[in-house]
Structure 1
Amino acid sequence: MNQNFQPKIKLNNGLLIPQLGLGVWKTSLNETQQMVKNAIENDYVLIDTAKQYGNEEAVGHGIQEGLAATDRQRNSIFLTTKIFNGDQGDYDKLRKAFNLQLKKLQTDYVDLLLLHWPVNNKYNESWRALQDIYADGQAKAIGVCNFNVERMTDLLAHAKVTPAVNQIEFNPLIHQPEIVDFCHKQNIQLEAWSPLGNGRLLTNDVITKIAKQHHKTPAQVILRWEVQQNFVILSKTTHPQRMRENANIFNFALTDSEIESINQLDQEKHAIWYDKFKWSGNPDGVDDYIAKPGAF
């Protein structure tokens, strides 16, 4: 894969976002630094992290090493991070905390800044801060994660800037059709976290049969299914060979019948821990919860 030929999607503010990216949730500091470097060396452009993951500093180091190894510049990387739940709701606190995030990432801007969760009674004030961060050029685009229709409707009623992105859990086991349809109508780009469903579908009979027909891996079939629904996908692997495999999904297409057979796998079941975060934004209802890298 050559980054010059990577598919990109135009966001509602005109910014182009790569359709395939690397996520770094659940990885240790050493793993994160190495996998980000490896990803850049393998022509990944989009890197997605968050303060809550506890590894932004390692991402910053990995980007610098990747840029040095490939003779690229910072503007060749599409960097996403997210506002920590415990920093939400207080305008000044959020902006100070975000400035520290930029320092850890070794950059003076991010390409996309997201609210990590729609924390009750806080996300509208947080969005006010993100709008000013966007206006000041510290983020080229702003968006949200895990917003359902109710909370997105409320946000839009108070917002001056429509979110460019809503990053949600999406894979063949969970489609979230209501928020997907809402975002399509509002021209809000959807990103898929956990696009492979934590590996639960890699041995599924429907997926493996389609994979054999296309001479692809089950993971490639699942990612292709999401690409054909115009999602930005954030795959995660620490192995360079799997990075290359995950990127090799733009040279085939699933048929309508294959897409429909995968659609039938939907169970509308979130990740096992998901409901513990709604809507306080963390598993224990404690605002200052940050993961130790690799803890989840």
Structure 2
Amino acid sequence: MADVQLENGYTKIANEILEQMAKIKLSPTQYRLIFVIWRFTYGFKRKEHEMSLSFLSDATGIDKRNVQRELKSLQERKIIFQDIKSGSYRKISFNKNYDEWVGKITIGKTTVGEITNGETNNTGIGETNNGAIGEIDNTTIGETDNQEIKNKENLKEKSKEKDDQMDQPNPITEYEKFFGFPPPILIQDFNYWIDKSQFQEPEAIICEVIKRAKLHNPKFPAKYINSALKTLHDLELYTLSSVREYNAKFDAKFKKQPNVITFKEMSKRPKGVSEPPPLTDEELQELEEIEAKLPF
């Protein structure tokens, strides 16, 4: 049985947004994408998040081509915004201004495409809101009004916005770059370090640890990274500068010891050199666990 607790993390969504989402027609794939977008934006107290097609495909189980197509549709309907730099990044944000959403067209008192269990809301066939047939709220079909032009301009402006808060390093994206999509338990750990630790720059520090972990390529990267973060926190290294200074001292110490090698390298037999048999799987596992307790 799943043990779901708010203490393990939650995503704050305004009730008004949920009410409006219930009124707009989306495909199942689009709903799933929005859930992931909410999780990795509002779930991290952010307005936007860098999400690749691979990231979204892994998070939803949907083919990347379908993900790309549905994202384009959501953007065209102004439900999300995308800031894309080819070959570099894709930043996505949810448009909470539901007045800008495209998809609900009202003719008189009846909303096109909505089923009302047989009710017609007292609107006759072809009847409109005090206008001639073909008119929609005093706007002729095909006519582009000033508001529509403004909406397009707003879309362009918002897609180009660079929120300083969003420029922070992203632990999820950083981990995905080196080790694949992070397991749920690691995401919970990240939330803890971001929300409840004394780290002053938690996202940047987590990304720094992830980069360092890649250098060692541990067998259990999630466990290794969380252990390193705990060590740094216990040492009261709460800023990125203090963490980097610690890393520099650590590196300098081992540069003076050229013969220092990792446990994995110790277990390998050099060519042409007669050595005892390689370590057993149990011995390697024990050494890996010892190595995982090291800060880096």
TM range (shorter): under 0.3
Q: Based on CA coordinates, which of the two structures has the bigger radius of gyration?
A: 2
Give the TM-score, by structure 1 length.
0.25
Asked which structure has the greater RCO (Cα within 8 Å, sep 6+), the reply is 1
Give the TM-score, by structure 2 length.
0.25
Normalized per residue, which structure has more strand? 1
